[in-house]
Chains A and B, each alone.
Chain A
Amino acid sequence: MRQGSIALRLFWFSLCWLIVALAFTAFLLTNLYSSALDNTLRETLEFHLETLVGVSLSSTDDAFPASSLADPRFSRPASGWYWEIRDMDGNITSFSPSLIGTILPKVGGMFDADNVRTDVQKDGFGTQIRMIERKITLSDRTILITVTGNLDEMFDLVDNFRGQTLTVLGAMGAMLAIMSGLVARFALRPIGRLRRAVEQVREGETAQVEGIYPREIAPLADEVNELLRSNTQIIERARSQVGNLAHGLKTPLAVLRNEATGGGAGLSGVVLSETDKMAGLVSTYLDRARLAARTAVVGRRSNVGEVMDRLVRVMGKLHRETNLRLESGTGEIWFRGEESDLEEMAGNLLDNACKWASSAVTVTLVAPVSAADRTLTILVEDDGPGLSDAEAAEALRRGVRLDEKTPGSGLGLDIVKELVDVYGGTLSLGRSDLGGLKVELALPVARSTAS
């Protein structure tokens, strides 16, 4: 069950948020700038109006010099910056030099309490202008003073500002997006580490999830470890109970069997054959229980060299007449699984080889040839009679014993085969250069680098 990537989700979420936040910021900044400019324009126009009012009040003459306002924009024709003074009849008594060749549009609206009204209109050249007009009552007459400023100039400034703002914020947004992508990946790195640690447990390189994790995922690692521990405990408990029952039955079975031996065909014969069956069942299901428990146990690995050394030493004691030789290269080889299982597989193979050998048994450990090769091989060869191809094929068939007569001297391949299957290995029989049987046991290898 997979849902999209957390990193990608974090990235898209922060990207959307960034776009909205930055767009809103651009909008807000532009509006603030525009209203600040407009205020400044108003204040400038009011200042000029006050100047003209002052000049008008102090002058007795209707006509006063056009240069009354120092701002040179009032001298430039079609600048959008104009002023004029007219009486209530509409006769213009005075105007700015910039008004030459055009006339001001009429200011609409009502005068406020201060006898001031404002408006936005277009002049004769199509330029948008902000207009402010004041009505002044002098001793003998009433005049109207109008001052205008160029709004298009202001709009150009705002447009410019908007363009720059968008460029800067866009660049900042891109940088933040990249950052948030990096942060998402960085923040999620511990999850990747945890995944690898769990993988190592499954691969049998470690028994527990190892490493130190951030507060958010440390409980997850702890829980996984707890799960592994309780799993192992349950399995061990079940296994030991089954083992106790099975082993407990073995002594009474031995007693019954011995008691019935040599007692003829009657009751003794029945007891003998039934105890044989029971003993077979006990050992079969004991093995099955071990195998069933085994598949659920993860995170085990064992040193092949050590196990084989030990087995060769023990075999040397059990089969003193056999010359037993172990050939292993340098360097450690690790089997991905339980030591007791490796011992069981290799022990049975070695024991067989020693039983059938005339004088010599050779064990060879073959390490994986490359890093990609995940298989180790144990070769067991003897100089005994060996098996024909047909016999070898028969021996590898489940539940077949080649020598039914002698107790305890079966090939013991059944349990070996089942274990090999559990670990996903292979078992093959062939002819050895020594003259007898060659058994090749291939098993999964565990990386030795893990601690």
Chain B
Amino acid sequence: MRILVVEDDTNLNRQLQEALTEAGYAVDVAFDGEEGHFLGDTEPYDAVVLDIGLPQMDGLSVLEAWRREGRAMPVLLLTARDRWSDKVQGIDAGADDYVAKPFHMEEILARLRALVRRAAGHASNEITAGPVRLDVRAGKVTVDGKSIKMTSHEFRLLSYLMHHKGKVISRTELTEHLYDQDFDRDSNTIEVFVGRLRKKLPEECIQTVRGLGYQIDDD
């Protein structure tokens, strides 16, 4: 899952980046509205954390511009203004959720998880595919109730496929959503990770659709 953080306060930006990376997301950051708008407009993100008070172009304008241009990724607004009239304005501009500063980092993580999950059409924090169960909140995977150890890259890959189970996901799409923009992208690494995952999960869990990509069956 790839997240964009747009926040002009360098410390807060760094903290968000660290916390999100630690939680298993690929994170891109922007420090002003224009840069944020450009990234959101050109890169495929699974969610965006967007501050309202930004230099060059304020958060609400960025959000409205995205929605006008048909960008539908879930957006979590970050703002010091926490009155309901402010929230209504933000939601009406196209935001999906709203967190008021100062916040606890866990709250941002919880809200983001919910947004990503909802965007993929899942009602619960747990996504299952046959015997495989992915707990988004705890960051754990179990097979028939037994916990499976995974690296963060493996978890990200499985999480993305599970979130979009039933759909064929191309290698390019996986690359775009699993790595931030600074990562040296090589689609071969995807194959390596899929290979490792297959060893840890039941056979046939991850299917290869020749020439198109990978798929986890929707049961």
Contact in complex: B103, A408 (CB < 8 Å)? yes
Asked if A311 lies at the interface with its beta carbon under 8 angstroms from chain B, I say yes
CB distance from A236 to the nearest CB of B (A): 14
Asked if A434 lies at the interface with its beta carbon under 8 angstroms from chain B, I say no
Q: Which residues of B contact A283 (CB under 8 A)?
A: 82
Q: Which residues of A contact B98 (CB under 8 A)?
A: 318
Contact in complex: B9, A311 (CB < 8 Å)? no
Q: Which of A248, A275, A317, A340 interacts with B91 by CB under 8 Å? A: A317
Q: Which of B83, B85, B92, B101 interacts with A250 by CB under 8 Å? A: B101
Contact in complex: A347, B87 (CB < 8 Å)? yes
Asked if B72 lies at the interface with its beta carbon under 8 angstroms from chain A, I say no
Contact in complex: A408, B107 (CB < 8 Å)? yes
Against B, the Cβ 8 Å flags (1 = close, 0 = not) of A250-283 are 1111110111010000000000000100010001
Contact in complex: A339, B84 (CB < 8 Å)? no
Q: Assuming the A-B contacts A250-B101, A314-B92, are A258 and B19 also in contact, with contact meaning beta carbons closer than 8 angstroms in the complex?
A: yes
Q: Which residues of A contact B84 (CB under 8 A)?
A: 311, 340, 343-344, 346-348, 351
Contact in complex: B85, A339 (CB < 8 Å)? yes
Q: Assuming the A-B contacts A255-B12, A314-B91, A314-B92, are A343 and B101 also in contact, with contact meaning beta carbons closer than 8 angstroms in the complex?
A: no
Asked if B138 lies at the interface with its beta carbon under 8 angstroms from chain A, I say no
Q: Which residues of A contact B200 (CB under 8 A)?
A: none
Q: Which residues of B contact A257 (CB under 8 A)?
A: 102, 104
Asked if A321 lies at the interface with its beta carbon under 8 angstroms from chain B, I say yes
Contact in complex: B85, A340 (CB < 8 Å)? yes
A243, A275, A310, A348, most chain B CB atoms within 10 A:
A310
CB closest chain-B residue, reference A283: B82
B12, B91, B100, B102, most chain A CB atoms within 10 A:
B102
Asked if A106 lies at the interface with its beta carbon under 8 angstroms from chain B, I say no
Against A, the Cβ 8 Å flags (1 = close, 0 = not) of B82-111 are 111101100110001111111111010000
CB closest chain-B residue, reference A278: B102
Q: Assuming the A-B contacts A257-B104, A314-B91, A347-B84, are A321 and B12 also in contact, with contact meaning beta carbons closer than 8 angstroms in the complex?
A: no
Asked if B120 lies at the interface with its beta carbon under 8 angstroms from chain A, I say no
Asked if B196 lies at the interface with its beta carbon under 8 angstroms from chain A, I say no
Contact in complex: A310, B88 (CB < 8 Å)? yes
Contact in complex: B82, A343 (CB < 8 Å)? no
Asked if B167 lies at the interface with its beta carbon under 8 angstroms from chain A, I say no
CB distance from A292 to the nearest CB of B (A): 15
Q: Which of B11, B19, B83, B99 interacts with A344 by CB under 8 Å? A: B83
Contact in complex: A343, B107 (CB < 8 Å)? no
Contact in complex: A320, B12 (CB < 8 Å)? no
Asked if A196 lies at the interface with its beta carbon under 8 angstroms from chain B, I say no
Q: How many residues of A contact B (CB 8 A)?
A: 34
The complex places the Cα of A259 from the Cα of B14 at a distance, in Å, of 10
Q: Which residues of B contact A193 (CB under 8 A)?
A: none
Against B, the Cβ 8 Å flags (1 = close, 0 = not) of A207-219 are 0000000000000
Q: Which of A307-347 contact B (CB under 8 A)?
A: 310-311, 314, 317-318, 320-321, 339-340, 343-344, 346-347
Q: Which of A393-414 contact B (CB under 8 A)?
A: 407-408
Q: Which residues of B contact A279 (CB under 8 A)?
A: 102
Asked if A195 lies at the interface with its beta carbon under 8 angstroms from chain B, I say no
Q: Which of B9, B83, B99 interacts with A340 by CB under 8 Å? A: B83
CB distance from A279 to the nearest CB of B (A): 5
Q: Which residues of A contact B123 (CB under 8 A)?
A: 321
Q: Assuming the A-B contacts A254-B103, A310-B88, A314-B88, are A247 and B81 also in contact, with contact meaning beta carbons closer than 8 angstroms in the complex?
A: yes
Contact in complex: B105, A261 (CB < 8 Å)? yes
Q: Which of A141-175 contact B (CB under 8 A)?
A: none
The complex places the Cα of A311 from the Cα of B92 at a distance, in Å, of 10
CB closest chain-A residue, reference B91: A314
Q: Which residues of B contact A351 (CB under 8 A)?
A: 84
Against B, the Cβ 8 Å flags (1 = close, 0 = not) of A342-374 are 011011100100000000000000000000000
Asked if B15 lies at the interface with its beta carbon under 8 angstroms from chain A, I say yes
Contact in complex: B83, A251 (CB < 8 Å)? no
Q: Which residues of B contact A259 (CB under 8 A)?
A: 11, 15
Contact in complex: B97, A318 (CB < 8 Å)? yes
Contact in complex: A254, B101 (CB < 8 Å)? yes
The complex places the Cα of A87 from the Cα of B83 at a distance, in Å, of 124
Contact in complex: B101, A407 (CB < 8 Å)? no
CB distance from B119 to the nearest CB of A (A): 11
The complex places the Cα of A332 from the Cα of B143 at a distance, in Å, of 57
CB distance from A247 to the nearest CB of B (A): 4
Contact in complex: A255, B85 (CB < 8 Å)? no
Q: Assuming the A-B contacts A250-B101, A318-B91, are A258 and B12 also in contact, with contact meaning beta carbons closer than 8 angstroms in the complex?
A: yes
Contact in complex: B99, A251 (CB < 8 Å)? no
CB distance from A108 to the nearest CB of B (A): 106
CB closest chain-A residue, reference B13: A255
CB distance from B19 to the nearest CB of A (A): 7
CB closest chain-B residue, reference A258: B15
The complex places the Cα of A310 from the Cα of B87 at a distance, in Å, of 11
Asked if B80 lies at the interface with its beta carbon under 8 angstroms from chain A, I say yes
Asked if B118 lies at the interface with its beta carbon under 8 angstroms from chain A, I say yes
Q: Which residues of A contact B80 (CB under 8 A)?
A: 246-248, 250-251
CB closest chain-B residue, reference A259: B15
The complex places the Cα of A407 from the Cα of B80 at a distance, in Å, of 15
CB distance from B178 to the nearest CB of A (A): 25
CB distance from A57 to the nearest CB of B (A): 118
Contact in complex: A317, B107 (CB < 8 Å)? no
The complex places the Cα of A64 from the Cα of B88 at a distance, in Å, of 126
The complex places the Cα of A340 from the Cα of B88 at a distance, in Å, of 10
Contact in complex: A343, B83 (CB < 8 Å)? yes
Q: Which of B115-134 contact A (CB under 8 A)?
A: 118, 123
CB closest chain-B residue, reference A279: B102
8 A-B pairs with C-beta separation under 8 A: A253-B101, A254-B101, A255-B15, A258-B12, A314-B91, A318-B98, A340-B85, A343-B84
Q: A254-B12, A255-B9 are in contact. List 4 more A-B contacts (CB 8 A).
A: A246-B80, A247-B53, A253-B102, A254-B103
Q: Which 5 pairs, one residue from A and one from B, show the smallest C-beta to C-beta distance?
A: A347-B84, A247-B80, A254-B102, A250-B80, A340-B85
